[in-house]
């Protein structure tokens, strides 16, 4: 994406500048286009869509600690880089410039899923909270969808992980995924496609602390089942098919999203996120986002924030009706 533009200046609205991530260069614009902040999530002070993407940045430093386990002589000759990730968010309205609204810088060891709530918190602090946030698979889980909805009123749009249970063994007779089973949450039972009822239901926690429900079917019910080749490999022991479920609300969201993201309508809706990859590309070319001369994450984060100066270029392109760059 060489620049960002919208079709016409006449469509200026309060959403245009609600994506600004740096106040100072845009003070001249704010009084004329943005009304006083409101708490209502549906108000025009909030953008309709936000897209997020991630890039890696190399900063000079020594991995692990200030003093390496090597000798001081070796340290003086050492050239090393510590890698951090930068997460960019931008507005993606079709009739307004695409402006960077948030910049997060994290250590490369931080999982993307740990950043989603922080992005929403910072957007809410600056009254830039969107009604819909389009995000990549690395930032979204069923728990994130639920938390974004309950804590901020944000509809989080992103692909959740698919059910890969024994997938791809036989295209003519696909495996039975969790969607083929019926869960009775009140009775704490699961019914299989052949009508067998689960024999065990236990609430557990993963090593990460995530609560889950483990469900087992008796091997006696599975061993003679005509669907066994498509369902389970269990051949001995006490249990046949096993299922791992999330807490009820999260599991229901997961199942709904898995079905929804297979539709053409959802895929078309998600296509808007591709634009933020162009933003990362533009930031790399214009502001050298992938490398920084500064030591430490704090200074690197400041440099990453300054990359949002691209907003000035994008507003200028929009005011001059400069079209978006076409993919080559």
Burial 207-245 (b: 16+ CB within 10 A, else e): eeeeebbebbbbbebbeebebbebbbebeeeebbbebeb
pTM metric for this prediction:
0.73
Sequence ranges of the domains in the chain: 9-160+261-319, 178-246
What is the pLDDT at residue 259? 92
Calpha distance 277→292 (Å, rounded): 20
What is the pLDDT at residue 328? 54
Query: Which segments in the chain show pLDDT lower than 50?
Result: 1-50, 62-79
What is the pLDDT at residue 142? 95
What is the pLDDT at residue 111? 87
What is the pLDDT at residue 256? 94
What is the pLDDT at residue 202? 96
What are 123-163's pLDDT values in tens digits? Answer: 999 988 898 999 888 889 999 999 999 999 999 999 998 88
Closest to 178 in 3D by CA, of 203, 198, 199, 159 = 198
What are 237-288's pLDDT values in tens digits? Answer: 889 999 999 999 999 999 999 999 999 999 998 888 888 888 888 888 888 8
């Amino acid at each position: 994406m060489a620049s960002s533009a919208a079709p016409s200046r006449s469509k200026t609205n309060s959403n245009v500048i609600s994506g600004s991530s740096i106040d100072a260069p845009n003070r001249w614009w704010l009084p004329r286009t943005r009304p006083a902040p409101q708490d209502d999530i549906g108000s025009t002070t909030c953008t309709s869509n936000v897209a997020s993407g991630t890039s890696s940045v190399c900063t000079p430093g020594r991995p692990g600690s200030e003093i390496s386990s090597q000798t001081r002589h070796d340290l003086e000759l050492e050239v090393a880089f510590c890698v951090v990730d930068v997460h960019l968010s931008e507005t993606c309205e079709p009739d307004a410039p695409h402006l960077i609204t948030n910049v997060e810088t994290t250590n490369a060891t931080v999982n993307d899923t740990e950043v989603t709530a922080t992005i929403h918190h910072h957007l809410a602090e600056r009254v830039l909270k969107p009604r819909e946030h389009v995000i990549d698979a690395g930032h979204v889980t069923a728990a994130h969808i639920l938390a974004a909805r309950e804590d901020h009123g944000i509809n989080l749009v992103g692909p959740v992980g698919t059910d890969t249970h024994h997938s791809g063994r036989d295209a003519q007779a696909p495996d039975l995924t969790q969607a083929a089973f019926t869960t009775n949450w009140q009775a704490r039972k699961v019914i299989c496609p052949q009508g067998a009822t689960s024999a065990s239901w236990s609430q557990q926690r993963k090593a990460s602390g995530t609560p889950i429900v483990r469900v087992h079917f008796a091997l006696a019910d599975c061993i003679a089942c005509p669907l066994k080749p498509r369902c389970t490999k269990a051949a001995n022991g006490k249990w046949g098919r096993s299922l791992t479920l999330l807490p009820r609300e999260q599991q229901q969201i997961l199942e709904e999203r898995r079905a929804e993201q297979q539709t053409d309508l959802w895929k078309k809706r998600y296509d808007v996120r591709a634009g933020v990859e162009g933003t990362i590309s533009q930031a790399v070319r214009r502001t050298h986002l992938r490398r920084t001369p500064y030591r430490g994450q704090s200074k690197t984060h400041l440099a990453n924030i300054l990359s949002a100066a691209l907003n000035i270029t994008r507003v200028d392109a929009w005011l001059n009706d400069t079209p978006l760059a076409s993919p080559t």
